[in-house]
Amino acid sequence: MSAGEIELQPGERVLWAGEPVQRPLYVAADGVIAPAGLVLAAAAVWFVLAKQPSGLPMAAAVVALALGLYGAAGRSVVRYLALGRTTYAVTDSRIIARSGLFRQKERSTELAGLPAPVLKPGPSRTGTIGFGGAGSVTLMGIGEPKRVRDLLVKAIDEAGARQAPPEADTSAA
């Protein structure tokens, strides 16, 4: 993502821009969702074969099978493909991610008030940077993650300092 592709706020400047260089097929949440999807898909197949339903029960079984297969494998494949079309930018006031398989959607998170970034190292000097809060942008599979994390720490501190009210002068006049 270049600075020309995003709408900057007045006075905002881009500190870093990049894209995933490593697209993880498996993330920690998949350790729960994939097995649950397999169980749901297996239960749907068993129900169809054992009960031979028709009408609404058959439709429900097909929906359960589709959801189970998506949870077991589809979710990982969709994430992998979407990361191939993802770009990130860090400005002096926010983190921006543009992603999507068919239609690019832009999400941003204000830096002021974010907790310290957490780096999860990945293979081949890549990593994922998250912030521990739901709804904040996660930089997944980026190169030079330690440098980007350090840049984020500094940018978060500076953004917080700009948001803080000025300290009152306590000296006697």
Other Cβ atoms less than 10 A from the Cβ of 99: the count is 20
Same domain, 16 and 100: yes
- Report yes or no on 168 lying in a domain: no
Average pLDDT value for residue range 48-68: 97
Q: The pTM is what?
A: 0.78
Same domain, 46 and 124: no
CATH code where residue 149 lies: 2.30.29
Same domain, 64 and 146: no
DSSP character string of 160-173: HHHHSPPPPP-S--
Same domain, 98 and 140: yes
Of 71-75, 113-117, 135-139, 165-169, the least confident:
165-169
By residue range, what is the domain housing residue 64?
30-81
Summarize pLDDT for 131-168 with one digit per residue, the tens: 876 678 899 999 999 999 999 999 999 998 887 776 65
Same domain, 108 and 130: yes
Domain final position from 46, 61, 81: 81
Give backbone dihedrals phi and psi of 42, rounded to 5 degrees, phi first.
-65, -40
Same domain, 53 and 91: no
Q: How many percent of the chain have pLDDT more than 70?
A: 91
Average pLDDT value for residue range 21-40: 91
Same domain, 102 and 154: yes
- Report yes or no on 171 lying in a domain: no
Summarize pLDDT for 32-41 with one digit per residue, the tens: 999 999 999 9
Say how many domains are in the chain.
2
